[in-house]
Structure 1
């Protein structure tokens, strides 16, 4: 099918299914992934996952995390640093250990056990944020902790994925390589928070003086993509740099409601939709994949290990069992990042289609289950919802 016709087909079906899914009370991305599955090799085989769609979906991931970063309250985020770091360590360590255990018990090779551990350690910022916004708990202590831990968990997972890729390529990795990788990642984050913050905000402030409002829109996109590119050069995923750029620019962009709405509409109206649809396009569902012995253990561990890890890390700060459990529940959903890692790993030949299918099904299940658990948990929580 012609590329432009493929894009039209994806957008039409993804938006129709997304609307139906959202009216049923679930995230739109489930319908958008389903559109890719229907149009891709799993069912109709009408649309191929080509380089054009891959490039557009990459821009979609960048814009998704940039908009999410713009939505966050930077001051509240920074004030919870200690709580976030401690909780992130336990919320990553428990699922990682559980992932290796699952792989060992199911007689998986070490490299695939490593992949499972990475996927289980991730929390999707893109799923957590809209869920907390819908529950009016976005800028609360619990909400801020969940989001901050999700970001740090992703940094840890991306570092591990770099190690995984090196091992899978047969290059191996030494303790020196590991320290260098972690050091570069930390330097990038520190650089973005200091020099990068000054430069990004200065450049954007200058753009707001232009006579045309479109200049601010263009500069915002340029800064988002530049941040993503720099994080990629530093060995991190594109999403980290995009998220940090949005976080640093958030207060400047939010005051210009027209600009913020334009960025959001262009992201979720086109690019993000293509990303989630592309996840379904590379998915090949077969009866063998659907009865994989990995599905049930991965799903149960994805929820149980995250709740336990989040609870163990945050109980020291909240001193309240319900709040600590809510943090753990909020860390359960997988989403954009594990889907991206899974897709890249599949296309690179690092994992099988069976394991990729298991990854996608686990992601979708956690997305469906977590909002319901959070809604019930907040009803019983001692933390009051903020006004508004």
Structure 2
């Protein structure tokens, strides 16, 4: 992509996403709905001014990494730990139900091969952490107990998604799956999530010491962005989604961070507060680019428009939504909190799109099936935040 093309693309993305986001907020919808809609309008589905490009995809991924960093700074590890069993319950149900329901329909109604139908179902097991938690932040309810269940379950979904993607990739290339490499991948992901925040906290103490010798302005923003990029690279290097690296860096800044040596060290909160505030403008600029790119990835011209196909598409959306809604029902809490957790798990977002693109590149699914799958992902990504925000506002006013 030429520099002048990139500059115009960023101009359109930032301007139109801001406009649409403001309009949606004025009518009571989450800003992310407007940002995704902006991408659909600018992309090949309508105006055709922008198309999926590797450069834009990388910038969009940086946006979601920064968004997950922001989420990590407000996450309580202690609350995640105490909600452990509920998190696993929500995640497991939210994976198994969509996989079975959509996979079976894809096999029988869409006449896909067993492997392609399994892939279709796996693509709809994902949950986008960034989208739902963005709505929680908008309504200032990110510290509620159900918010920690949502975040933890979405992280588990991402880990399982990486494992499923690796299994499918191995099977598509070799025709079999080796158990030992898969076990190694699982243990590596868990070790990263446990150790990365601790290492990050140690680096923050070092950065605080060095800050006393810094002469140039912008020290906090530069060192924090460097740390986020490092952790995102490490996450990708060990086979995890890069966004989990941003989340781990955010956990290291969290006010509720707990470590064995904390009692012996001076409280770093004044410095971590500076780091967090220095990153906020960057997050506000780059995060919307990710949501717009989700919309740009859709090409409605690839969709076969006929009654049977539209009904099948509607059925897939319903199954994808209800498969996640039901995940919140077994929780030991009020019905509204159960529905909030279920709605927050509905958006598939970036993880689902990665699955879909992967299947297209390997030839597991055709262009037509890819477009239909992306539309189901987009529909859940639009419906989830709308339902979630309405429930959160109702809870807040109750």
TM-score bracket, normalised by the shorter chain, equals 0.7 to 0.9
The residue correspondences of 1:280-299 to structure 2 (distance < 5 A) are: 280-286=295-301, 288-289=303-304, 292=309, 294-299=312-317
Which runs of no fewer than 5 residues in structure 1 stay unpaired?
Answer: none
Cα displacement string for residues 39-92 of structure 1 (whole angstroms, at most 9, x for unaligned residues): 333333333433332322221221121122122233322332232223322232
Q: Tell me the TM-score normalised to structure 1 length.
A: 0.83
Cα displacement string for residues 148-168 of structure 1 (whole angstroms, at most 9, x for unaligned residues): 111111211121122223333
Tell me the SS of whatever aligns to 1:49: coil
Query: Is 1:331 equivalent to 2:334 in the alignment?
Result: no
The residue correspondences of 1:303-322 to structure 2 (distance < 5 A) are: 303-312=321-330, 314-315=331-332, 318=333, 320=334
Query: Is 1:266 equivalent to 2:270 in the alignment?
Result: no
Query: Is 1:79 equivalent to 2:77 in the alignment?
Result: no
Question: What residue number does 1:14 align with?
Answer: 17
Quote the offset at 1:300 in angstroms: 0.9
The residue correspondences of 1:170-189 to structure 2 (distance < 5 A) are: 170=174, 172-189=176-193
Is the Cα contact below 8 Å between 1:36 and 1:278 reproduced in 2? yes
Question: What residue number does 2:208 align with?
Answer: 205
Moved more, 230-239 or 355-364: 355-364
2: CA distance, partners of 1:273 / 1:193: 26
Is the Cα contact below 8 Å between 2:90 and 2:327 reproduced in 1? yes
Is the Cα contact below 8 Å between 1:111 and 1:167 reproduced in 2? no
2: CA distance, partners of 1:53 / 1:115: 26
Quote the offset at 1:213 in angstroms: 5.4
Tell me the SS of whatever aligns to 2:230: helix
Q: 1:166 aligns with which of 161, 167, 170?
A: 170
May I ask how many residue pairs the two structures share in their alignment?
Answer: 378
Q: 1:54 aligns with which of 53, 57, 78?
A: 57
Which runs of no fewer than 5 residues in structure 2 stay unpaired?
Answer: 256-267
Moved more, 150-159 or 99-108: 99-108
Query: Is 1:240 equivalent to 2:244 in the alignment?
Result: yes
Is the Cα contact below 8 Å between 1:93 and 1:309 reproduced in 2? no
Is the Cα contact below 8 Å between 1:285 and 1:357 reproduced in 2? yes
The residue correspondences of 1:57-72 to structure 2 (distance < 5 A) are: 57-72=60-75
Question: What residue number does 1:3 align with?
Answer: 6
Quote the offset at 1:32 in angstroms: 2.8
Question: What residue number does 1:278 align with?
Answer: 293
1: CA distance, partners of 2:358 / 2:270: 33
2: CA distance, partners of 1:128 / 1:249: 21
Quote the offset at 1:188 in angstroms: 2.2
Is the Cα contact below 8 Å between 2:253 and 2:276 reproduced in 1? no
Q: Tell me the TM-score normalised to structure 2 length.
A: 0.82
Is the Cα contact below 8 Å between 2:33 and 2:385 reproduced in 1? no
Question: Structure 1 residues 58, 171: CA separation in 2 closer, same or farther (over 3 Å shift)?
Answer: farther
Question: What residue number does 1:301 align with?
Answer: 319
Is the Cα contact below 8 Å between 1:71 and 1:254 reproduced in 2? no
Moved more, 347-356 or 27-36: 347-356
2: CA distance, partners of 1:378 / 1:39: 30
RMSD (Å) for aligned C-alpha atoms? 3.2
1: CA distance, partners of 2:202 / 2:140: 33
Is the Cα contact below 8 Å between 2:56 and 2:293 reproduced in 1? yes
Quote the offset at 1:238 in angstroms: 0.9
Tell me the SS of whatever aligns to 1:147: helix
2: CA distance, partners of 1:21 / 1:380: 18
